Structure 1
């Protein structure tokens, strides 16, 4: 993994011995070596080798200060992720807001900066991308005491994971070399991912869950809609790029004049304002909020019936904006799904910060998949 350039994002929980030990420490830590052996399917000798290698690489650290002073016998030093020597840099380019973020190896945000996307989106996409990458570099330079290991970018639209070339239809960017520009600015390897897949990766690798369901469905709705699937600790990344549910047919009710419409056309801010104008009410009126919740619940149910996942996680302002939270979405989902097994829709654990988490996950996924190779 040495050198500088674009590397396809590895959006999965690491499975090698070193990755497994690091995952156990991240999710169970502080953890002793004996506790790690119990958590992973590895021999004590193998765990010791991986721990020693991670200690030498400064990826983890022994915490003598966490030993119980009243413990009997030889103390066993707890291990935690070393959050002082390294960091990663990431960006999430959204339709309305772009986030630049620096995070430590635990995934904790050290610094973040939000920009209104329209403030830099211009008729010159290349200049806008160069400016963004330069700003992220400036943020990383504020942490000169840490070594930047990897860079990550997440955004809507089409992403060529191998080259980092992106198309962003809403911003009218086409064929832009985001990955190459980011690698040049940061001076480290980078990965670029479709943003809903990256959000699903954040739930997998940053949420702190040691064990998740074998399959999952991640659903995002704000100004755009998107869906990602996870299987056995890995985000499904189709060979020819992410699919789309933007055109999923829904019955919009008061959200549109037509009896049927495309999902993405009826859930964003513009659709809410248009519905309010037609009805003579505010865009956030109850009748509009209820209808959007119904449409979203029905859409999630339709995709659940196709995939039948073990869990469903949702994110985005369209899900969070209703005064009663997810309850109306859940009610619509329960009524619409054809599968009798009850399934509770779960909100993302990152709340409004899920775009930042997505950018961090893209960068940290490489570190977590093969930490020693990245550090060395």
Structure 2
């Protein structure tokens, strides 16, 4: 077990402390020697050495004498890597229809994951069932020390208490963090899932071309948006905002003339209802084109106001169109009022975006300040 078990708010940001900077360089560039760390981390050799010693003492980083270059000149330099083999985190993404359970190493690489149906019924029973399923998965990795658990979930999340209001599931004040913490005996972080997906892009798969700000959109059974600003995901003190109500013109999805809320064109139930109303197949180009147009126009409306450097999109509503993102991009371009063109970028995680969201929540506090996380 890691530090004392508790519910701890996720830290959806790039760590800036010396320990976090060195830890990140080892994670991204390892195996790496101390002198190369000092060059790449823009820290003094003395600072790097102090942080390396502390990270080794905490068990997060290990020396790898087996990787020493035997042909090198001078005193051998022992490479450093993350302790991938000894440590792990547990994670879950609770979706409206299914829940993904995962175990990952310190680099964020999933060692194993699988999906189960999200249980129906009362929130406490459903979350308890999922927590015990995750505990069973953790038990399969008995040779590893688990440091943290992370939960990504839709709805309104109180990250301090780990409670969740999930309108789609009918949960109100569900003690998700408390239940997971009690079952696993680990510190746990609970985070709104679109914010977690944005954090995965920022922390697990950073892009040098990302710019200072990005807007992240997810649309599958529900639709959501998150903002990344200067190395951190914006997490309002009152919880995540909503884009579900944004009015869009989608007459085939409407019960009566006039605009509908964006959520009314998202998800399998919305497609099925539109198909029944119109006589089209749920996979017909007429319905998928209309959904793509609604998404593009909604993203343009918010994008014009925020004016981010990049826009990242993920979820079946973007990926399932036969022509990919092209119709969404065309609708976005047509509705945009700013002069410069902006390309919509698909998530780098593809179908694994939910897994990445869960894993980054489990790792976020460690990545933000690893030594504090291990002693807190």
Scaled to the shorter chain, the TM-score interval is over 0.9
Q: Give the distance between the partners of 2:105 and 2:124, measured in 1 at CA.
A: 29
- Deviates further, 204-213 or 282-291: 204-213
- Alignment deviations for residues 11-67 of structure 1 (CA, whole Å, 9 cap, x no partner): 111110000111122223333323322322311210121122222323123344545
Q: Is the CA contact (8 Å cut-off) linking 1:27 and 1:209 kept in structure 2? A: no
Q: Is the CA contact (8 Å cut-off) linking 1:272 and 1:288 kept in structure 2? A: yes
Q: Is the CA contact (8 Å cut-off) linking 2:314 and 2:347 kept in structure 1? A: yes
Indicate how the Cα distance of structure 1 residues 70 and 211 shifts in structure 2: closer, same or farther if over 3 A, else same: farther
1:357, distance to aligned residue in structure 2 (A): 1.0
Unaligned runs of 5+ in 1: none
Q: Is the CA contact (8 Å cut-off) linking 2:27 and 2:81 kept in structure 1? A: yes
- Counterpart of 1:26 in structure 2 is 27
SS of 1:367 mapped into structure 2 = helix
- Counterpart of 2:142 in structure 1 is 144
1:295, distance to aligned residue in structure 2 (A): 1.1
Q: Give the distance between the partners of 1:68 and 1:301, measured in 2 at CA.
A: 53
Q: Give the distance between the partners of 1:66 and 1:290, measured in 2 at CA.
A: 54
- Alignment deviations for residues 208-244 of structure 1 (CA, whole Å, 9 cap, x no partner): 5467421111101011100000111111000011111
SS of 1:170 mapped into structure 2 = coil
Q: Give the distance between the partners of 1:17 and 1:33, measured in 2 at CA.
A: 14
Alignment of 1:50-69 (within 5 A): 50-69=51-70
Alignment of 1:1-376 (within 5 A): 2-117=3-118, 120-122=119-121, 124-209=122-207, 212-257=210-255, 258-376=257-375
1:134, distance to aligned residue in structure 2 (A): 1.2
Q: Is the CA contact (8 Å cut-off) linking 1:27 and 1:208 kept in structure 2? A: no
Structure 1 length as normaliser, TM-score? 0.94
Q: Is the CA contact (8 Å cut-off) linking 2:253 and 2:264 kept in structure 1? A: no
Structure 2 length as normaliser, TM-score? 0.94
1:286, distance to aligned residue in structure 2 (A): 1.3
1:68, distance to aligned residue in structure 2 (A): 4.9
Indicate how the Cα distance of structure 1 residues 276 and 37 shifts in structure 2: closer, same or farther if over 3 A, else same: same
Q: Is the CA contact (8 Å cut-off) linking 1:28 and 1:210 kept in structure 2? A: no
Q: Give the distance between the partners of 2:5 and 2:29, measured in 1 at CA.
A: 33
Q: Which runs of 4+ in 1 moved over 6 A?
A: none
Q: Give the distance between the partners of 1:326 and 1:71, measured in 2 at CA.
A: 50
SS of 1:171 mapped into structure 2 = coil
1:80, distance to aligned residue in structure 2 (A): 2.4
1:265, distance to aligned residue in structure 2 (A): 0.7
Q: Give the distance between the partners of 1:276 and 1:263, measured in 2 at CA.
A: 17
- Deviates further, 318-327 or 1-10: 1-10
Indicate how the Cα distance of structure 1 residues 170 and 158 shifts in structure 2: closer, same or farther if over 3 A, else same: same
> What RMSD over aligned residues (CA atoms) do the two structures have, in Å?
1.8
SS of 1:167 mapped into structure 2 = strand
- Alignment deviations for residues 63-82 of structure 1 (CA, whole Å, 9 cap, x no partner): 44545555444443333222
1:310, distance to aligned residue in structure 2 (A): 1.1
Indicate how the Cα distance of structure 1 residues 342 and 359 shifts in structure 2: closer, same or farther if over 3 A, else same: same
1:246, distance to aligned residue in structure 2 (A): 0.6
- Deviates further, 33-42 or 162-171: 33-42
